[in-house]
Structure 1
Amino acid sequence: MTLGSAPTLDDVAREANVSRSTASRAINGGDRVSPEAQAAVDAAVARLGYTPNRAARSLVTRRTDSIALVVPEPDTMMLTDPFLTGVLRGVTDGIAGTDLQLVLLLNRVDEAPGRIARYLGSGHVDGAIIASAHERHQLEAALTRSHLPAVFVGRPFGEMSHHFVDVDNVEGSRLATQRLVERGCRRIGTVTGPQDMSAGIDRLHGFRETLAAAGLPSEAVAHGDFTAVGGGEAAARLLDEHPDLDGIFAASDLMAEGVLRTLHSRGKRVPDDVAVVGFDDLGVAQHTTPRLTTVHNPVVATTMAATATLLGLLAGAPVPAAPQIFTPYLVEGESA
């Protein structure tokens, strides 16, 4: 090794007094290495400060040392949606202390279907975490065909054999709707999430189930898209069709923010004329006027649990076979 140059595999082999091929297998996790040779190579690596070449390592281990975070949404949502930023934080916290690299896969605007599925099936990553999945993307079937280890943040569609971690969305929407019922609201509507997403479906189910139990009508429904703009537009449709509404459950805090703006523009006082409850508690609720009553969704914790499950799958360790479901709770604000 010349002065100032980075140590090479040959330098490690000479330092450990083993062949180059033995040094390579010891460094890259191959088999057929005696305990004595392994210890000698480990000591040589430490003394020389050798860093393995990732490409060479992958040839031996057939591993890329990278995982994908799949968010099949436009990049603009990744930058503005607190749920998605919470997911990203949960994954990065979950792989802290490992050598894994994170690959972020987003949907491109107007892209042809199947790009993400093809990438996942082509051996570029060792595993994947999927968040904000839509039924139309059919990622569950693609992952089943590829046999790639994967964990969903949110209940997947159809392919229930996949591991997933989620919050109890039905219970969370029940808490939100029940809060409006207990306040005395009798004409309650909802702005839903997309109905090709399990969270959107489950939160609408909890809303309807709670109103049915209270003997109240549940036909005041407008579909949103988990954005503030979409929430405001859905609220306008709700008020046009049901001008006597006195309560609204918005299936995300971003949509609730849009609902509040629409109510203000219509001269409706919150909560005096119309009470509002959101869902997520990821920072938006603390900055609305009035401060939003919402349901806590432990996104970072659920995503860290999903990441831990994926790491277990990659290591061949036992992982929970049943879905991991986190319990939501109501966070009181001033809007309900």
Structure 2
Amino acid sequence: MKIGDLPAPVTASKGDWLPGTTWLGFTPTDGDLDSRNKCQSTIQRQFGDGYVIEYITETFQKPNLGFERDPQYIADREAHRERAGRLLAVHKLRTTSRDLETILGPDEYMKLQDMWAQDGKRFRWSVAFPIVQSFRIKDDRKAKEILGPEAYARLYAHSSATLRPLTDAERELISELAIEPVETKNAWIGIEDEFLMAERSQITPAVERAINQDLAALEGIEEHRLARVKRRAAWIADSFVRERRRAGSLTCDECEFDPRKVAEEFGVNARSFLDVHHKNPLDEGVRYTTIADFALLCPTCHRVEHVRLRMAKRVAST
């Protein structure tokens, strides 16, 4: 998989000393609610509906006095040396932030501020966006080599308290980078946010029926939550189908069957010859799924896919 295969573009970049595993934090201009809201709005506007690519800075800041020998600081500094100057990961962030103290707990948050707060401003990184989906970048080259000196300088020559939006040219430079998904502990936050969005949305009945069939094998989920998981999956599938319609790409993703000629001959909708299919049904409710988890298949290919899924499940259980 490559960055260019993601279901949404990489819209911005974040420079960090260490990789974000569960959240990306930003420091508002002040500790009051208005400043935090303004910071959140700025970051939201910068990443929009896209992904954020994470860069590990060349430098690592010294902690406040008294923490130079702190074991966590020493471990973090050593970890930084291995990754410095590299593009490390691509993240999907939750649309809205959470207070960092809520995420970390009061004790860990206080220690973080003791170690890193500057000029008595104990709200460093306090606007935190949970990471709901993450991909590790497999290319180990330095960012400057990948981006070239001009793009690298624009994005990373100077530190920024917010994100750095990417240009189309910069997106093209990273589009071929190989990535692999990594486990994301906060996936559930993004999933539950979208439960509400799905419940408020109109979904094409045929799509909802198809996805309910695909998810029939889901087990071990409480009944009320299962209904919400299925509803969210159908909502995403419906968005996927609508996007394919807009793109004029109503063909089978497996055999490339194009139903338009047959549809014209019989005066029916070309879409009626294709089924929407969930490629990873057992991931629902566990992993943050997107439109990339769905496919359009002709009925024959759809049946073949379900046979494959049943066989894979049988093999896994033996």
TM-score (norm 2): 0.20
Task: Work out which of the two has the higher radius of gyration on C-alpha atoms and give 1 or 2.
Answer: 1
TM-score (norm 1): 0.19
Greater relative CO, 1 or 2 (CA 8 Å, sep 6+): 2
